[in-house]
Structure 1
Amino acid sequence: MASEKKMVTLKSNDDQEFQVEEAAVIQSEMLKNMIEDDCASSVIPLPNIDSKTLSKVIEYLNKHITRDEDEDEEQEESEDKGKEVDTGEEDDLKEFDEQFVNVGFEELFDIIMAANYLNIHELMELCCQSAADRLKNKSVRAVREMLKITNDLTEEEEQEIINDAPWAFEGPEIDDTVN
């Protein structure tokens, strides 16, 4: 099936435009709905996403393009040949995902915000899991620093909490998972 790829233009909040395959873009529920409702005839402005974050999101979408027609054929082939057909592709995708979320904490949160805005469930899940893994078993002080949360407790209030729940202040401080 040599069909022409339909392209969509996305515009970041810093006026940079990206040409993206429609097959990649429709992974976003928001963009898919806009395309289905004919609201995406020219450039789609994305005022909540900067170009750096949008390029990362597009990289993810391009790697995870849904292949509906191909999946039916592959499923039939894999039933004949066993699960040999897609294990290599799944491994590649898993490796890509691991490398994709291997970014700084701030950049990861920008991607989470973009995935939320664009309603891309799989990307949101991947990035949130990565953030959760980085925060897991950290002390309260480390989590505050990682999430840039200002401590608005007085020393007396904090000491009372430490006395009531000392386990919350145990655990490793900041380490290399913050990058």
Structure 2
Amino acid sequence: MAESEDTKKMVTLKSNDDKEFEVEEAAIIQSEMIKNMIEDGCATGVIPLPNIDSKTLTKVIEYLNKHISKDEDEDEDEADDKGKAVETGEEDDLKEFDEQFVSMDWEELFDIIMAANYLNIHELMELCCQSAADRLKNKSVRAVREMLKITNDLTEEEEKEIINDAPWAFEGPEIDDTVN
């Protein structure tokens, strides 16, 4: 078994701040973009990722490494156990990891969403977008604007008209600890 660990195929990724990362091919092929590059023979050297900084790439690689066995097992089990949801210790560990993984500030979460989108990593994208949606859920318009750093481009008259037409849109809790 030690021999197979030593012969793992590695892929080198280069962030936009020129840091290189050696990643197992089994982990990085969760990225549809990289998987297609490998299949087409375009990933023979260092793969530059001009849209991702090293801090974000480190987090993405952490996620991919944790989810290697999950994805391989799912592919094999999907054909055999379609429709059966069996909770295992590993699945519980992954759920706990995912919950911990997305407990970060907004800026870092959005950087990972952008990286997941760029690399075409569906599960990571869904996880991070769900976390963002959960944080925004039931917040007032003012709270959402503040959380997402959106400037109000409405005049006072326009905003009053909207409040009169749809007062429910301005209801909800203001900023709380779910912002971070």
Alignment pair present for 1:87 and 2:88 = yes
The percentage of aligned residue pairs carrying the same residue is 84
Per-residue displacement from partner, 1:65-87 (whole Å, max 9, x unpaired)?
A: 146379749x98x9xxxx5xx61
Task: Tell me the amino acid that sits aligned with residue 5 of structure 1.
Answer: K
Task: Tell me the amino acid that sits aligned with residue 13 of structure 1.
Answer: N
Residue in 2 that maps onto 1:26: 29
Deviating above 4 A after TM superposition, structure 1's stretches of 4 or more consecutive aligned residues are 69-73
**Which whole-Å CA distance do the structure 2 matches of 1:167 and 1:25 have between them?**
44
SS in 2 for 1:19: strand
**Which whole-Å CA distance do the structure 1 matches of 2:173 and 2:72 have between them?**
45
Residue in 2 that maps onto 1:120: 121
CA displacement at 1:18 relative to structure 2: 0.5
Report 1:157-168 matches (<5 A): 157-168=158-169
**Which whole-Å CA distance do the structure 1 matches of 2:162 and 2:38 have between them?**
51
**Which whole-Å CA distance do the structure 2 matches of 1:133 and 1:106 have between them?**
16
Per-residue displacement from partner, 1:46-66 (whole Å, max 9, x unpaired)?
A: 000011000000000000014
Alignment pair present for 1:39 and 2:42 = yes
**Which whole-Å CA distance do the structure 2 matches of 1:164 and 1:69 have between them?**
52
Q: Specify whether residues 105 and 70 from structure 1 end up closer, same or farther in structure 2 by C-alpha distance, changes over 3 A only.
A: closer
Task: Tell me the amino acid that sits aligned with residue 143 of structure 2.
Answer: A
Report 1:98-177 matches (<5 A): 98-177=99-178
Structure-1-length-normalised TM-score = 0.90
Residue in 2 that maps onto 1:178: 179
Aligned residues: 171
Structure 2 unmatched ranges of 5 or more: none
Structure-2-length-normalised TM-score = 0.89
**Which whole-Å CA distance do the structure 1 matches of 2:157 and 2:112 have between them?**
38
Residue in 2 that maps onto 1:14: 17
CA displacement at 1:106 relative to structure 2: 1.1
Structure 1 unmatched ranges of 5 or more: none
SS in 1 for 2:68: coil
CA displacement at 1:150 relative to structure 2: 1.1
Task: Tell me the amino acid that sits aligned with residue 176 of structure 2.
Answer: D
CA-atom RMSD, angstroms?
2.0
